Amino acid sequence: MPWMPLVLVSSDAFERHLTPPGHPERPERAHVFDAVATAWRAGGGEVRAPRPATIAELAAVHDRDHLERIAGTSGRAAMLDPDTFTSPESYQLARLAAGATLVGVDHAMAGGGPALVLVRPPGHHAERDKAMGFCLFNNAAVAAAYGRAKGASRVAVVDIDVHHGNGTQQIFEDDPAVLYVSTHQYPCYPGTGAVTEVGLGEGRGRTVNVPIEPGAGDDDYTQVLAEVVVPVLTAFAADLVILSVGYDAHVQDPLAQMQVTTAGYRAMLATLRATAEAVSGGRLVVVTEGGYDLPALGACLDATVEVLAAPAGSAAPAASAAAPRASGPGIRGREAVAAALAVQRPFWPLV
């Protein structure tokens, strides 16, 4: 397959979504995004401006009442729950964040190569009718529904944030055309994502949860991807792959207890990009979720850019042999794989 150029979708407007002092999802995260986009542009790469998602595009995954509640916060600060806040421009910025993913989908669906979408507020906790977990609208879900409308018969959303994407799962849990796969620390916020949650009705088997105990490192995640995520993703054969990428499984992140290194993230992204090349012709959109240690976030985003910008077919770099592994090599990964396969084999007999 010929090399296809990476496009970034970014805007400094995301700095204007304000949260209370001390909140982990703070405007400085957008400064990191801006630095990554500026460096990419300075090196000759393309950075596209986002557009706001329309009400109809948001309504494909959110109830009208929810859209009206968030719109009602326009021009003021509001606390939606103990973790989730708006500021005067947050409604418009949340629409812009969701719409940014659609710019990425347009690029990927046109065969232009992968897209990296740098946005806040994040999205994967937002349910059909509720904002929560720092999230107002579900960016990845809006992108998945838009991809379907643009001709993708099957869409896969792979979520490697350290927290379970309860919103994305809820929105698509009865839809056989959307695969949702999540690796996440368990137990952890929001408390969902048990291995037995496999979807509802016609969507049974299209939700694949791989909960992992705290303390997992690079080797654990490598095993989970190799033995569960990649086989399921390959069998599903999506026309479009969307990655909800939170960098909060990093060893330096303050909100969880995982031990993944920057090299581990590089390896995960390389594996998932290679799988998207094989199953979807490279139609891949990566959208940011969590990641709250600023230096780790910047380093991981730099690694993500390097992986997505490399010529198609490049070998996946190995995770660092010096990665910290509080559990011992692979113990948590082996347990997570065994539990997930025991539940999922009736739906995916080849895994």
Helix (H) or strand (E) holding 81: strand 78-81
Q: What is the pTM of this model?
A: 0.95
Amino acid present at 179:
L
CA–CA distance, 260 with 217 (Å, rounded to integer): 5
Tokens of 281: 């012709």
Is 47 part of any domain? yes
CA 157 – CA 180 distance, rounded (Å): 5
Among 148, 156, 163, 137, residue whose Cα is nearest residue 62: 137
Which pair of structure tokens corresponds to residue 279?
């199953």
Whether 349 is covered by a domain: the verdict is no
Q: Exposed (0-12), middle (13-18) or buried (19+): which is 65, by Cβ within 10 Å?
A: exposed
Mention every residue, 6+ apart, whose C-beta is less than 8 A from residue 288: 33, 117, 118, 119, 120, 122, 245, 246, 247, 301
Residue 46, domain member (yes or no): yes
Which tokens go with 204?
Answer: 């049974």
Strand partners, 155: 178, 240
Please report the pLDDT score of residue 51 as a whole number.
98
Split at pLDDT 50, 70, 90, the class of 322 is: very low
Is a pLDDT exceeding 90 seen at residue 3? Answer: no
Selection from 135, 160, 72, 60 nearest residue 102 by Cα = 60
Please identify every residue annotated as catalytic: 125
- Tell me the per-residue pLDDT of 275-295, one tens digit each, with 9 for 90 and over: 999 999 999 999 999 999 999
Q: How confident is the model at residue 2 (pLDDT cuts 50, 70, 90)?
A: very low
What pLDDT shows up at residue 292? 98
Q: For strand 84-86 and strand 78-81, is the pairing parallel, antiparallel, or unpaired?
A: antiparallel
DSSP state of 71: H
Considering the domain boundaries, does residue 224 fall inside one?
Answer: yes
351 domain-assigned: no
**Tally of structural domains, the chain:** 1
Per-residue pLDDT at 312: 79
Let me know: does 256 contact 296? Beta carbons within 8 Å.
Answer: no
- Give the 3-state secondary structure of residue 74: coil
Q: What is the rounded CA–CA span in Å between residue 228 and residue 210? A: 8
CA angle 322, 164, 150 (to 5 degrees): 105
Mean model confidence pLDDT for the chain: 94
For residues 43-71, give the mean pLDDT: 98
Q: Answer yes or no: is 172 within a domain.
A: yes
Structural domain for 110, as ranges: 7-344
Give the C-alpha separation, 130 to 63, whole Å: 9
d(CA 337, CA 348) in angstroms, rounded, equals 14
Q: Is there a domain that residue 350 lies in?
A: no
b/e burial code for range 71-104 (CB count within 10 A of at least 16 → b): eebeeeebebeebbbbbbbbbbbbbbbbbbbbbb
Q: pLDDT at position 329, please?
A: 59
Q: State what percent of residues in the chain have pLDDT above 70.
A: 94
Q: Categorize the per-residue pLDDT at 328 as very low, low, confident or very high, splitting at 50, 70 and 90.
A: low
Assigned domain for 1 exists:
no
How many CB atoms sit inside 10 A of residue 167's CB? 29
DSSP 288-345: E-----HHHHHHHHHHHHHHHHSPTTPPPPPPPTT---TT-TTHHHHHHHHHHHHHHT
Residue with tokens 């690694």: 303
What CATH number did the domain enclosing 62 receive? Answer: 3.40.800.20
**Above 50 in pLDDT, residue 274?**
yes
120-157 pLDDT, tens digit each: 999 999 999 999 999 999 999 999 999 999 999 999 99
Non-local (6+) Cβ contacts of 349 within 8 A are: none
